[in-house]
Structure 1
Amino acid sequence: MYPSAPPDAYNKFSAGAPPTAPPPATYQLPTMNTPRTGGGLTRWSTGLFHCMDDPGNCLITCVCPCITFGQVADIVDKGTCPCLASGTVYALICASTAMGCLYSCFYRSKMRAQFDLEEGDCPDFLVHFCCEYCALCQEYRELKNRGFDLGIGWAANADRQRRGVTGASVMGAPGIPVGMMR
């Protein structure tokens, strides 16, 4: 009567098995000791306006963006300028000129170069000028999705990699089974 459609022709959220969760992320620092390989540019792991993918970071960035900037800058600078110093410089620039975006856009460019990320439709300075908090949140999420624990800084991340530690879990907190997530 009706021709049968291939299984992938149906909407994946209709009847049938629920969508599968992605495999758990492993803790790898891809550009720490390994050279970048040639090839095309990669996409950001999350969009610019996906701030609520990490509501905790979104709140911290809205209240005190110098914290998020300091954490991102510490990882991007590979520990040469600590989180506190970068965050303080950013806060002073914001307090004196209200143009911290001019400072933070350089770190976005530096991060894109390190991870071969595409620039997108707007240049980095324009992204930071128009959407400073969203840009900081996106950079934070990108580093987090690449296996960095931004709360411990570059030195501790490098030490974890040297020791071969996989996964960045909170001490004492049980893992959440994939089947229990909504």
Structure 2
Amino acid sequence: MTTNNWPIGQWTTDLFDCWDDPSLCVKTCFCPCVTIGEVVEMLDQGTTSKGHACLLAYAMGSIHCGWIYGRRYRRKLREMFKLPESPYSDTLISCCCCVCGISQEYRELKNRGADPSLGWEGNAEKWKREGVKVPPIPTSSMTR
């Protein structure tokens, strides 16, 4: 599936649909840093590795600041797909429902045609094999 299959400005999955993918839910409950590492690598388009993001999320979580990291990437995902910050704020979700939020972000990427478990390079290869001309994740178009 690509971004074109989903209406711009609408989530494709609800915050509390965690059990739609039971294995993701269990992985995120016990190893949230791994899931967030996969999400971050996709949102940063491979410039931040899954391992680096995982370690940073773990370090920030150990000093009770993981919500700051989570909030940053939740906002980035919302801005990328023009998703609403509702029914709850990014801060509230990152503080109080982080497992549900991280799972939702992962499912959102997957529903829009990216598989975070493959990493950015793995997805790029998959899209190339499938003949996808425009990746489902909007790429930055910054120029100098």
What is the letter of the counterpart of residue 63 of structure 1? F
> CA RMSD, aligned part only?
1.8
Distance 1:156 1:114 in 2: 20
* Cross-structure match for 2:27: 60
Distance 2:50 2:25 in 1: 18
Distance 1:113 1:162 in 2: 25
* Unaligned runs of at least 5 residues, structure 1: 1-25, 32-39, 167-182
Deviation at 1:122, TM superposition (A): 2.1
* Cross-structure match for 1:10: none
Q: How does 1:24-39 map to 2 (within 5 A)?
A: 26=1, 28=2, 30=3
**TM-score normalised to the size of structure 2?**
0.83
Q: How does 1:3-152 map to 2 (within 5 A)?
A: 26=1, 28=2, 30=3, 42-95=9-62, 97-152=63-118
Deviation at 1:116, TM superposition (A): 1.1
CA contact (8 A) 1:41 1:118 kept: no
* Unaligned runs of at least 5 residues, structure 2: 133-144
Q: Deviations over 1:44-96 (max 9, x none)?
A: 1111111001100100011010000000000011100010000110001112x
Deviation at 1:107, TM superposition (A): 0.1
Identity among equivalent positions (%) equals 38
Distance 1:41 1:163 in 2: 26
**TM-score normalised to the size of structure 1?**
0.67
What is the letter of the counterpart of residue 55 of structure 1? P
Deviation at 1:155, TM superposition (A): 1.1
Q: Deviations over 1:125-145 (max 9, x none)?
A: 111111111000100110111
Deviation at 1:100, TM superposition (A): 0.6
Distance 2:10 2:46 in 1: 25
